[in-house]
Amino acid sequence: MITEKILFRESDGVARLTLNRPDQRNAVDLEMMHAIEESLCELNENKCSLIKVRTKILTSIGAHTGKGFHAD
């Protein structure tokens, strides 16, 4: 469950999930929380790729990395 709020890239055994809400200081909302959880579960079950993921990175676009929870 990747959304435009969460970007996903996998290469050479490294999976990168990127928070993409710089206008909201990358505050995590329910949609993002579910997308992150589902993505990590899929990676742990190795459903996303034929390549075994060895490293998972959570990063963000903009100056802030997850400034809290945004309850709309």
Domain parsing of the chain, residue ranges: 6-60
Tell which wins on pLDDT, 36 or 45.
Answer: 36
**Which residues have C-beta within 8 Å of that of residue 34, sequence separation ≥ 6?**
1
**Confidence class of residue 68 from pLDDT cuts 50, 70 and 90?**
low
- 5-24: buried (b, 16+ CB within 10 Å) or exposed (e) per residue? bbebeeeeeebebbbbbeeb
pTM over 0.95: no
For the segment 1-41, what is each residue's pLDDT rounded down to a tens digit? 568 888 988 888 888 889 998 888 888 888 888 888 888 88
**6-60 CATH:** 3.30.300.220
